[in-house]
Amino acid sequence: MNLDTRKYVIIAFFLIVGVIYATRLFYMQVIDDSWTLRAQQIAEKRREITPPRGVVFDRDGRKIVSNRTYYNLMMIEKNIKNFDTLKFAKLIGWTPEMVRERFKEIVEGEGMYFNRHTGKKQSNYQKIRPYPFLKELTLEEVANIAPHLENFPGFYEEVTSMRRYPYANGANILGYLSEVNREEVDKDAFYSPGNNIGRAGIERFYEEQLRGQKGIKYIVTSALNNAIESYGDGKYDTLAVQGPALKLGVDIILQAYGEKLLQNKRGCIVAIEPSSGEILALVSAPTYDPNLLIGKRNISENYPALVKDPSKPLYPRPLAAEYPPGSTFKLLNSLIGLQEGVISPEFGAVCDKSVVGCHNHASATNLADAIKHSCNPYFYAVTRRIIQQGKKRSNFEDAEIGLNIWADYMHSFGLGKRLETDITGIRPGLIPDAKYYDKWYGHHRWAFSTIRSISIGQGEVMLTPLQMANIAAIIANRGWHYTPHFVKSIGDKGPLEQFRTKHYSKVDGRHYETIVEGMRRVVHEPGGTGKRARLKDIVVCGKTGTVQNPHGEDHSVFVAFAPMNKPKIAIAVFIENAKGGGGLWAAPTAGLMIEKYLTGKITEIDREKSILEANFAYK
């Protein structure tokens, strides 16, 4: 290589290196603002301002979740100078030992991580980070401390807020907040140690909306770390933005009334507005006052007791409990039979108790009367016609085809899968298909006679009360529904997009009128099993169910909607161990809820008294 060639190689090398450094410098100074921010953090104190969470209203504008101002006493260990433990302990009303233990607790609470470079475990705790030393101080408490903080560099007060629930209802809907853990702080830059996050219910599902946007305030500090002025007269500060208000479809007065009716009982009530899919009430009994889980102090005291309570008040029965639906399921088998053409509205069947047990009533000469009487042999015949349609000569092969057709219809009603609503903890229930029974009995080793209990909503069929209420909404709408949801509007933007789509069942709308008429007869005609749900001047359409319970008394079930035309409420009531059928306890409970919602008052005083006095709680 000659000298000229070497010269050009060296020049090219230096040019390339220069371009690389210039590019990197441009990226650091112009594109990547993290370096600018780091320089600012060295020059002044950067404080994050956490906004109050968005408030929550019910459908009529009643505030059901609000904020109450509290204060945290924050500390940054790096800034603590000449700390007098005894003097500080006296200021906050502690002993020196308690102060030292709190420092240790904060460090240990941050946990450890494995440092790949050193090959050792190291603490996540950082001396330059702010941590809450005392949380949830009232205005009076912080007023006694704040004037003396100038004697304790590294400590400062921070405004925060905690939830307040004006109504002691809807705990399983609203959820609660608790302090973030180490993983959550590392995962999301929004959170700092001591911040709260939604743990359940609406608070959890809408966390990103409710938490709002943090603000930033830059403060120039003195050599003693005391704030002396805003950096740049505050022109670099950003305002904290409170999260948008959530407007729920829930009627908190109806919710409170439902909780009152289910006192001393185990079970649930779910009410939905059919035209929108908005959940009007979701009662889980037993329940608890949501104010019991406000703040770290209350949670540490009350949460363990709620967890240990054998009645499971934290368990969201309407969403997670999977029950056999009982005779309410006959409505769906009727719709499938009509759509498949295996029965007509005029189909009649003898009430033959030798086939399957039934209560005493006249044989049904049409479908509407069969629904009114809730005739078990009738619906045994209907479902057999659906499952065994004679598509194959072998009963086993024929049943396989028929059951899969049946299951496909059930899925179109939102059964056997999770209703993807705006709250967590939902179970899918169970709609058995051919594969399910193949696992139990073997392939082509079962027929309708093996699985006949599905014709009356017993056996392997399992639904959640939310699904039962949604069935009532689908029938009220004559074949369609919106996914049930709680939030009517986020700010003024309306509900989430997934709650604006209509879902249609596989059954044509024309077939629903016969079912609706049968449900009317259940409540309003002699011999109907749901007469205790009858209301003056309101046509209620309903269906009773009695669910066999091998562990105790039978469960009482009722689904309904009202009024018959242009329905405004669809409802499901499930009362465990009720010592009576669906018509005895669940039906009158539903009737009271319907009257309360549609008229705002209760005229059936004796009916209400009997429900309030009933006690089905058990150990």
Quick: pLDDT tens for 505-544: 999 999 999 999 999 999 999 999 999 999 999 999 999 9
Which residues face 462 on adjacent strands?
A: 430
Q: What pLDDT was estimated at residue 362? A: 80
DSSP per-residue string spanning 153-165: TTEEEEEEEEEE-
Q: For residues 304 and 185, state if they share a domain.
A: no
The answer as to whether 146 is a domain residue is yes
The answer as to whether 12 is a domain residue is no
How far CA 373 is from CA of 347, 363, 588, in Å, comes to 15, 9, 17
Do 505 and 331 form a contact (C-beta atoms < 8 A)?
no
Q: For residues 442 and 542, state if they share a domain.
A: yes
Q: For residues 302 and 372, state if they share a domain.
A: yes
What distance in Å separates the CA atoms of residue 229 and residue 616, rounded to the nearest whole number? 65
Q: What pLDDT was estimated at residue 370? A: 94
Sign of CA dihedral 610, 616, 617, 619: positive
Q: Report the 3 state secondary structure along 135-153.
A: EEECHHHHHHHHHHHHHCC
Q: How do residues 251-303 score in pLDDT, each as one tens digit?
A: 999 999 999 999 999 999 999 999 999 999 999 999 999 999 998 888 989 99
Q: Report the 3 state secondary structure along 23-83.
A: HHHHHHHHHCCHHHHHHHHHHCEEEEECCCCCCEECCCCCEEEEEEEEEEEEECHHHCCCC
Domain boundary among 221, 248, 275: 248
Q: For residues 504 and 525, state if they share a domain.
A: yes
The answer as to whether 11 is a domain residue is no
Domain boundary among 248, 280, 307: 248
Number of domains in the chain: 2
Q: How do residues 81-119 score in pLDDT, each as one tens digit?
A: 999 999 999 999 999 999 999 999 999 888 887 777 777
Return averaged pLDDT per consecutive 10 residues of the chain, 619 residues in all: 61 67 57 47 61 94 93 91 93 94 90 79 86 89 91 89 92 93 87 88 95 80 52 67 94 98 96 98 96 90 93 94 94 97 93 75 89 93 95 94 97 95 93 96 94 92 97 98 97 95 96 97 94 95 90 91 97 92 94 97 95 81
Q: Is 353 helix (H, G, I), strand (E, B) or coil?
A: coil
Q: For residues 179 and 265, state if they share a domain.
A: no
Contacts of 266 (CB under 8 A, 6+ apart): 285, 286, 311, 317, 575, 576, 577, 616, 617, 618
Q: For residues 473 and 572, state if they share a domain.
A: yes
What distance in Å separates the CA atoms of residue 224 and residue 79, rounded to the nearest whole number? 8
- Could you report how far apart the first and last alpha carbons of the chain are, in Å? 96
How far CA 327 is from CA of 37, 256, 354, 430, 554, in Å, comes to 66, 28, 19, 16, 13
The answer as to whether 272 is a domain residue is yes
The answer as to whether 120 is a domain residue is yes
Identify the CA nearest to 318 among candidates 397, 201, 426, 180: 426
Q: How do residues 378-398 score in pLDDT, each as one tens digit?
A: 999 999 999 999 999 999 999
Q: For residues 564 and 448, state if they share a domain.
A: yes
Domain boundary among 190, 216, 248: 248
- The domain that holds 119 is classified in CATH as 3.90.1310.10
Identify the CA nearest to 500 among candidates 514, 513, 518, 488: 488
Q: For residues 280 and 207, state if they share a domain.
A: no
Contacts of 172 (CB under 8 A, 6+ apart): 201, 282, 284, 287, 314, 316, 318, 319
Q: What pLDDT was estimated at residue 476? A: 98
Q: For residues 196 and 143, state if they share a domain.
A: yes
What distance in Å separates the CA atoms of residue 351 and residue 505, rounded to the nearest whole number? 30
The answer as to whether 50 is a domain residue is yes
The answer as to whether 202 is a domain residue is yes
Q: For residues 238 and 260, state if they share a domain.
A: no
- Tell me the pTM: 0.84
Q: For residues 115 and 224, state if they share a domain.
A: yes
The answer as to whether 241 is a domain residue is yes
Name the residue range of residue 572's domain.
252-591+606-613
What distance in Å separates the CA atoms of residue 221 and residue 133, rounded to the nearest whole number? 21
Q: For residues 297 and 340, state if they share a domain.
A: yes
- The domain that holds 528 is classified in CATH as 3.40.710.10
